[in-house]
């Protein structure tokens, strides 16, 4: 095995995607990502793509890009949560896959600093099913004390 030169996977103007990955260890790497940190981007959405059979794909198998045509834009992948339409920025917590190999994503949305909501999205085989699990309140019990260290 030989390593290749590093290359950019996801690209957007002035954006720094945050991603989580899960692999079956054989043929598929699932990835859930946002365009940037939610403190930097008010319309930070959640996207999904996977690497399988030599290409990056949407959940339905549609090819986004080959390794040779990287990088791809977030908008080329599946839009799991649309922050612009919903009016609240998002942040990916984790990605995994079920027994059928279909992706599942845990993430949070932030209508405000005092209103955080945790969500679960899963690919059904024909579309994304997205459910709010719970509303949790603020970032930390004493918001002002901790936020400066995370900005």
Query: Residue 28 to residues 14, 31, 54, 66, 135: CA-CA distances in angstroms?
Result: 29, 10, 10, 14, 33
Asked if residue 120 has a cis previous peptide bond (ω within 30° of 0), the answer is no
Average pLDDT, the chain: 88
Q: What is the 3-state secondary structure (H, E, C) of 30-53?
A: EEEEECCCCCCCCCCCEEEEEEEC
Question: Is residue 147 pLDDT above 50, yes or no?
Answer: no
Please calculate the CA angle 61-13-121 and round it to the nearest 5 degrees.
40
Give per-residue pLDDT as tens, 22-62.
999 999 999 999 998 878 888 899 999 999 999 999 999 99
Q: In percent, how much of the chain has pLDDT > 70?
A: 90
pLDDT on residue 123: 98
């Amino acid at each position: 095995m030989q390593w290749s030169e590093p290359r950019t996977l996801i690209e957007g103007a002035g954006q720094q995607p945050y991603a989580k990955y899960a692999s079956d260890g054989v043929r598929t790497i699932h990835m859930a990502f946002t365009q940037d940190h939610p403190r930097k981007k008010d319309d930070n959405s959640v996207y999904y793509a996977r690497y399988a059979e030599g290409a990056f794909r949407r959940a339905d198998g549609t090819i986004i890009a080959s390794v040779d045509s990287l990088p791809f834009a977030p908008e080329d992948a599946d839009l799991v949560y649309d922050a612009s339409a919903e009016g609240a920025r998002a942040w990916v917590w984790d990605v995994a896959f079920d027994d059928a190999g279909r992706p599942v994503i845990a993430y949070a949305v932030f209508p405000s600093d005092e209103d955080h909501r945790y969500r679960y999205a899963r690919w059904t085989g024909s579309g994304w099913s997205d459910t709010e699990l719970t509303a949790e309140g603020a970032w930390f019990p004493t918001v002002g004390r901790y936020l400066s260290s995370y900005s």
